[in-house]
Structure 1
């Protein structure tokens, strides 16, 4: 990913949220999401996280259709060899086409090459489709749960983990 991809990544992220989280978080929040505002945030995050966060895009015919990123685990008490999958999204029309699987394979390979030996992620507890995707990618829930606040509405998340191999 380059800084020039931020507009396309924002489109993937916003459309991905709106499709994946409908019925799982406040619809008013999803409806209010703005690609332009998200693109500006992506540019800021990208500039500030250089060297700490790895961002990867998936393209088809020169068009960005997916995006994911990882970096060091943000959970307290984890070791330096643990990474965290911060995000992985594909355009809604690309779901179940293999783009997400290929993106996950690339992200976990790069995490291994960066010296990480494990990866964790947080997923909405009620997001059954995403949980099945992560389980097929070798992740398992480890029992940790937390609440994610969306416009004052608590949305439960669960943590998944997996070991990384070369």
Structure 2
């Protein structure tokens, strides 16, 4: 599926399925996205140790395996891939639930505010809804205020679930947010 979207303040943006050829670009988006989004929230040494080459190789392995994860990229003709999102089945206690889970959504730090994140989110919401998932859940660092605002604008609300998460011995707790994808049944 390919979606074209043209925000008023950005050249034409293409949201499309990720291909194996995009692994290096997506790894760059992910690593640079982590370093930007989690600066001050996670240990700097952990963020600095992230490797684009290793991340790209891991992504190539995911493609070779084949799985239920849906990966989409946001691309501009003049810049290439500037954002990436991935979602798939929600996993809990070793089982899969009917809901979907947004695993990741990142945009190159210098491309934030250009509509790429909103376009990726719109595509993920549309695809997950069309696949019949009743809702979409995600986990976000409790202290990541910019990400929480972005998700709130997209209709996600905390549902009260929290998980401990630790990076190099530093606690960085996460909260779960959920957005319905299908309207409630009529009476």
TM interval, shorter chain, is over 0.9
- TM-score between the two structures when normalised by the length of structure 2: 0.84
Matched, 1:107 2:124: yes
Match of 1:116 in 2: 133
- Number of aligned residues: 165
Cα RMSD (Å): 1.6
The answer for the alignment partner of 2:145 in structure 1 is: 128
**SS state at 2:173 partner:** strand
Q: Determine if the alignment matches structure 1 residue 33 to structure 2 residue 82.
A: no
1:59 aligns with 2:75: yes
Q: Residue in 2 aligned with 1:89?
A: 106
Deviation at 1:29?
A: 0.3
Q: CA deviation at 1:87?
A: 0.3
Deviations 1:14-44 (A, max 9, x none): 0000000000000000011110011011111
Q: Which stretches of structure 1, 4 residues or more, deviate above 4 A after TM superposition?
A: none
Structure 2 stretches lacking a partner, 5+ long: 1-17
* Structure number with bigger Rg: 2
Provide TM-score, normalisation by structure 1.
0.94
Greater helix content: 1
Q: What CA distance in whole angstroms lies between the structure 2 residues aligned with 1:2 and 1:10?
A: 13
**Of 136, 160, 165, the match for 2:177:** 160
CA distance in 2, matches of 1:122, 1:138: 14
